């Protein structure tokens, strides 16, 4: 009788496991292992099954860990660059001058050409007009020079601070840690990644802000010059964006097949 009940229970457990595996549920983790010695049952043991559903379930967890790691790294880098925030903000303030001049220079050049055609020699002197355009270009060039200088200084200070902290942390370790860890690899990676960190915290951040300012300013100038042309230009952006995204997905799928 005991053997019969044991066989029935074993069949039920087997069917239960196969059913859950077909339903793509997580592997059956609580399959009890029966011990017939003495007519007693032992404690449940862990039973693992290798299936693709487990990998799919672990994928979101790994993505969350990567997001948390990236967020923590970004927070640490911002803390390291906190002392250089005033200099970075000062360099970003030059965008107001350089972007304005860059947007106004074509408009001013067109007005100068129109004024010269309409008035001929009776208008302003070409020297005055050329001096005005040259002054705008010089102002924009000066702003770009100051922004590049300040960003380079801030980036070099951030990298120097990062290197000094890492060197200090390595030197404070015990000799056993130096024998066990690849300290040379850490130093070489720091040298390689220092330029990436410097660019991400200084040049790339300000470049992104410059892109936003230029997009807003050019859109405003286009609306001011020709609202119809501005509307037509904006209307063509969504189809291009959708087509580019679909083509990118198609290329990624082809790469995965290869």
Phi, psi dihedral angles at 205 (to 5 degrees): -65, -45
8 A C-beta contact, residue 28 and residue 47: yes
Three-state DSSP class for 124? coil
Kindly report whether the global pTM for this prediction surpasses the value 0.95. Answer: no
At residue 218, the pLDDT reads 84
d(CA 136, CA 101): 6
Tokens of 128: 């005055």
Q: What is the pLDDT of residue 67?
A: 60
84-226 maps to CATH 3.40.50.300: no
| Distance from C-alpha of 18 to C-alpha of 109, rounded to nearest angstrom | 77
Q: What is the pLDDT of residue 122?
A: 67
Cα(98)–Cα(145) distance, integer angstroms: 10
Q: Tell me, what's the pLDDT at 53?
A: 47
- Chunked into runs of 10 residues, the chain (258 residues) has average pLDDT values of 46 47 40 41 40 49 59 77 86 86 83 78 73 86 89 86 81 79 72 76 83 85 84 86 90 85
Domain locations in the chain? Answer: 2-50, 84-226
Contact predicate 144/95, CB 8 Å = no
Burial per residue of 46-74, b for 16 or more beta-carbon CB atoms within 10 angstroms, e otherwise: eeeeeeeeeeeeeeeeeeeeeeeeeeeee
Tell me the DSSP string of 165-226.
HHHHHHHTS-HHHHHHS-HHHHHHHHHHHHHHHHIIIIIHHHHHHHHHHHHHHHHHHHHHH-
């Amino acid at each position: 009788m005991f053997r019969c009940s044991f066989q029935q229970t074993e069949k039920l457990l087997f069917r239960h496991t196969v059913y859950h595996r077909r339903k793509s549920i997580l592997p059956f983790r609580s399959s009890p292992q029966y011990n017939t010695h003495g007519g007693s049952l032992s404690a449940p043991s862990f039973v693992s099954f290798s299936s693709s559903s487990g990998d799919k379930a672990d994928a979101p967890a790994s993505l969350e860990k990567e997001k948390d790691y990236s967020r923590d790294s970004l927070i640490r880098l911002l803390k390291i660059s906190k002392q250089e925030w005033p200099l970075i903000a000062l360099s970003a303030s030059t965008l107001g001058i350089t972007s304005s001049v860059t947007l106004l220079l074509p408009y001013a050049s067109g007005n100068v050409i129109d004024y010269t055609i309409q008035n001929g020699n009776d208008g302003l002197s070409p020297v005055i007009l050329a001096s005005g355009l040259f002054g705008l270009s010089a102002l924009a060039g000066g702003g770009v020079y100051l922004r590049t200088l300040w960003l380079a200084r801030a980036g070099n200070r951030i990298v120097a601070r990062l290197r000094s902290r890492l060197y200090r942390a390595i030197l404070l370790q015990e000799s056993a840690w130096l024998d066990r860890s690849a300290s040379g690899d850490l130093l070489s990676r720091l040298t390689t990644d220092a330029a990436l960190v410097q660019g991400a915290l200084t040049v790339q951040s300000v470049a992104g802000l410059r892109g936003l300012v230029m997009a807003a300013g050019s859109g405003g100038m286009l609306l001011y010059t020709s609202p119809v042309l501005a509307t037509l230009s904006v209307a063509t952006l969504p189809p291009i964006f959708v087509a580019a995204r679909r083509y990118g997905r198609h290329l990624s799928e082809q790469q995965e097949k290869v």
